Amino acid sequence: MISAEMTRLAHSNSAIRAMFEEGNRLASIYGRDKVYDFSLGNPNFPAPAQVKDAILDVLNEEESTFVHGYMPNSGYPDVCQAIADSLNRRFGTDFTGGNILMTVGAAGGLNVILKTLLNPGDQVLVFAPYFLEYGNYVRNYGGELAVVPPNLPTFQPNLEKFEQMLTPATKAVIINTPNNPTGVIYSEQTLEKLGEILERKQAEFGTSIYVLSDEPYRELAYDGAQVPYVTKYYRNTIVGYSWSKSLSLPGERIGYLVIPSEIDEYRLVFDAAAISNRVLGFVNAPSLMQRVVKRCVDCTTDIGPYDANRRALYDGLTACGFECVFPQGAFYMWMKTPVDDKAFVEAAKAYNILIVPGASFACPGYVRIAYCVAPQTITNSLDGFKKLAEKYGLTK
């Protein structure tokens, strides 16, 4: 009766809800501090002080009708320009404000650009493991998702399979670096090769294939690792960004798309994306937060606490005998399971540990452990992980 698709999603969503309810149930029995919830990518660290300062400055220095009012659907021109300037300073790019479209977070940006690009039946490729929501975004616009199998053990994209899967119906490829759930950063070599393949296939098919680079974790790179800026490696690249993780503002829904002038049909794509922003009901990115990020555009993210968590968790898990991908970025540990990943997730609940099965990222045999948590959550969980390792005969 109501939307068949949404009815299906409402029913299949029960797994995630069950995890929430399990967390609440465990917390009511054992206390919240005895439940080790690694299931969500919700930053546990407060926004930097500059954010609050910026909000106060905006409210004191700018006009209410301006700060809270409508602006062009693509965003305040001065905010877009400030973002372009910052990207150019940091990555040696050559953007203008006319390449930036402010969005309701990265999820809003991806929906805007998919609505703009896809005709029903168009194919969109993703690399497993991937954030499952991409599939819903693609299907919102009648697109068909095709999943490139994972590339063990590096978890760099599997470019050989990728090349075989490209067809004349391929309209876009979604990549995500630093990666959720693996923590891998795509290397320069990977991006060069990806670009070469796509240029060749575009020429062969006579089509345009857009890379959509979803980059909410760009600022979370450890050990001085550089995250290559994807537009430099492939001309038809559109970047989606969000301040959810870098400024700990996930609830504020503030991000942007970079739509470079060099892409095919730039003018039409940009104009249509601004209209997609409007007709999907976003209308524009939240106005006060646009004014705020302009003032925080060069804020650096303190990755120290995440880095400390990363090392503590990696060391703790490997000492138990677990095999993990050592994360180069983001705040997820991608761990191999000694048994079926869903069975392992169930077994972990016995120790009040909540984690997400790899099957939820189209990559069974692994689990995702989100370490954007309080440090003591990690410390206190390790005893449970040790018992899990013993249970499955991993302990060295």
Site for a second copy in 23-82 (CB under 8 A): 40, 42-47, 51-52, 55-56, 59, 63-65, 67-71
Least spacing, CB of residue 353 vs a second copy, in Å: 20
Least spacing, CB of residue 323 vs a second copy, in Å: 30
Peptide bond preceding 181: is omega within 30 degrees of 0, i.e. cis? yes
Least spacing, CB of residue 32 vs a second copy, in Å: 14
Q: How far does CA 84 lie from the centroid of its chain? A: 21
Q: Which stretch binds a second copy (CB under 8 A): 79-87, 146-154, 183-191, 267-275?
A: 267-275
**Closer CB to a second copy, residue 284 or residue 381?**
284
Separation between Cα atoms, residue 55 and residue 286, nearest integer Å? 13
User: What are the residues whose beta carbons fall under 8 Å from the beta carbon of 164, sequence distance 6 or more?
Assistant: none
Q: Exactly one of 23, 105, 150, 327 binds a second copy (CB under 8 A); which one?
A: 105
What DSSP string describes 97-162? Answer: GGGEEEESHHHHHHHHHHHHHPPTT-EEEEESS--THHHHHHHHTT-EEEEEPP-TTT-S--HHHH
What part of residues 162-221 is at the interface with a second copy (CB under 8 A)? 207-208
**Closer CB to a second copy, residue 50 or residue 187?**
50
Question: What is the phi/psi pair of residue 329, to 5°?
Answer: -155, -175
Least spacing, CB of residue 9 vs a second copy, in Å: 5
Q: Which stretch binds a second copy (CB under 8 A): 173-181, 251-259, 296-304, 329-337?
A: 251-259
The beta-strand segments (E) located in 120-276 are 123-127, 144-148, 170-176, 210-214, 237-242, 255-258
- Report if residue 93 touches a second copy, rule: CB under 8 A: no
Least spacing, CB of residue 20 vs a second copy, in Å: 9
Separation between Cα atoms, residue 171 and residue 211, nearest integer Å? 9
Least spacing, CB of residue 188 vs a second copy, in Å: 29
Least spacing, CB of residue 273 vs a second copy, in Å: 8
Q: Which stretch binds a second copy (CB under 8 A): 26-34, 249-257, 335-343, 359-367?
A: 249-257
Q: Exactly one of 62, 94, 188, 265 binds a second copy (CB under 8 A); which one?
A: 265
Q: Report in angstroms the alpha-carbon separations of 5 from 112, 124, 142, 284.
A: 20, 19, 12, 27
Closest CA to 288 of 111, 137, 69: 69
What part of residues 120-139 is at the interface with a second copy (CB under 8 A)? 133, 136-137
Least spacing, CB of residue 255 vs a second copy, in Å: 10
**Closer CB to a second copy, residue 175 or residue 389?**
175
Separation between Cα atoms, residue 228 and residue 84, nearest integer Å? 17
What part of residues 276-305 is at the interface with a second copy (CB under 8 A)? 276, 278-290
User: What are the residues whose beta carbons fall under 8 Å from the beta carbon of 217, sequence distance 6 or more?
Assistant: 176, 177, 178, 179, 180, 245, 329, 330, 331
Separation between Cα atoms, residue 296 and residue 96, nearest integer Å? 18
Q: Exactly one of 119, 154, 167, 376 binds a second copy (CB under 8 A); which one?
A: 119
